[in-house]
Amino acid sequence: MHRPMDPGLFRRHIGNPILSVRDWPYKANSVFNAAAAEVAGQVLLLCRVEDFRGISHLTAARSKDGIVDWEIDPQPTLVRDPANHPEEYWGIEDPRITWIDELGRWAVVYTAFSRGGPLVAIATTDDFRTFKKLGPVMPPDDKDAALFPVRFKGYWAMLHRPITPATTEAHVWMSFSPDLIHWGQHQEVLQARQGAWWDARKIGLCTPPVQTSEGWMLLYHGVRQTASGSIYRLGLALLDLEDPTKVIRRSDEWVFGPSEMYEREGDVDDVVFPCGWIVRDGQVYMYYGAADSSLCLATAELNTLIDYILHCPDASFSE
Ligand code: BMA
């Protein structure tokens, strides 16, 4: 069955999926949920790869145009290290990459799957070949985290998604740190809506925030629970440039959702899950996991996204 298209802001690449286990140089169950960055003139994807035990690691793939001719590391690039990092006991998942100019390094924020549940961990690198793991920075259950590239009033800022134990609801929070390791000033920034909404009760950050002239552009997922499972769809929000704890705009409607077969059927049906996007010549390249099974690309004009979000309701929120 085919679902109606979303508002048409993003165009799916005709060659989707752009990467899958069929392209992989070693045995794997699935390739999905990749972080993205432009490194030395190439597009680098740090892909989540799940093995046949169900444990995930991360592997780098590089391409000049970010679409075809991927050079994939022949071996896993970043793997769990439970001896030194017990928080990675069941693997590492869903990375998000931010270039930190002040450090001259990339920060990779990822989900470490500990015996106590998923939590947020950070590693840094300057070449995506060797990494320095900073360890866990948030206790479980917490995931879907990304750093801002700059400090605010002297503090690093991170968006993340703790589960509220009393209600099992999930909202996007922001926390601040002087050193990327110790985090505080925790506050809720973007709330899941309630009731019938597409983003009721459970939302989470997708890609790292992108700085635009109008504010920080956020892409987030909303999870709709249905009688036959969950549907993961995407919405946009805009945060204040100076004070990113302030949400200026938020899309009422989802801007992207599963409609193609490769998004509708897989290890987990009806999932689109971007962890990375890059902006090249005004074009946004959004890389997303499809149905927890393959990796896809959709593109949009950055100006179109900005125009769209500026015409969305102000974020003093409608139900
Ligand atoms: C989320 C994350 C993602 C996954 C999605 C759909 O909670 O675990 O890694 O793609 O569920 O299964």
Distance from the CA of 263 to the center of ligand 1, in angstroms?
13
The residues near 228 (Cβ < 8 Å, ≥ 6 apart) are none
pLDDT of residue 6: 74
Distance from the CA of 15 to the center of ligand 1, in angstroms?
23
* 3-state SS class at 121: strand
Q: What is the mean pLDDT of residues 100-116?
A: 98
C-alpha span between 194 and 192 (Å, rounded): 7
pLDDT of residue 152: 98
DSSP 220-282: EEEEEEETTEEEEEEEEEEE-SS-TTSEEEE-SS-SB---SHHHHSSSSSSBEEEEEEEEETT
| Number of the ligand 1 atom closest to the C-alpha atom of 271 | 6
Which residue from 254, 237, 255, 259 is spatially nearest to 246, judged by alpha carbons? 237
Domains of the chain: 16-310 (2.115.10.20)
For the full predicted model, state whether its pTM sits above 0.85.
yes
Is the minimum distance from the CB of 292 to ligand 1 under 6 angstroms? yes
pLDDT-based confidence at residue 316 (cuts at 50, 70, 90): low
C-alpha span between 29 and 70 (Å, rounded): 19
Residue nearest ligand 1's atom 4 by CA: 292
Distance from the CA of 303 to the center of ligand 1, in angstroms?
29
C-alpha span between 241 and 232 (Å, rounded): 28
4: pLDDT strictly greater than 70: no
The mean of the pLDDT values for the chain is: 96
pLDDT digits (tens, 9 = 90+) for 120-150: 999 999 999 999 999 999 999 999 999 999 9
Place of tokens 């902006």: 279
Distance from the CA of 203 to the center of ligand 1, in angstroms?
11
pLDDT-based confidence at residue 314 (cuts at 50, 70, 90): confident
pLDDT of residue 7: 77
% of the chain beyond a pLDDT of 90: 95
| Number of the ligand 1 atom closest to the C-alpha atom of 268 | 12
HEC-encoded secondary structure of 198-229: CCECEEEECCCCEEECCEEEEEEEEEEEECCE
| Angle in degrees, CA 84, 86, 88, rounded to 5 | 105
Length of the chain: 319
pLDDT of residue 315: 79
Which residue from 115, 208, 245, 225 is spatially nearest to 170, judged by alpha carbons? 225
Which residue from 43, 97, 100, 72 is spatially nearest to 280, judged by alpha carbons? 43
Place of tokens 């001719």: 69
Exposure b/e, 19-56, CB count within 10 A at least 16 = b:
bbbeebeeebbbbbbbbbbebeeebbbbbbbbeeeebb
Q: What is the mean pLDDT of residues 12-17?
A: 98
pLDDT of residue 300: 98
Q: What is the mean pLDDT of residues 76-101?
A: 98
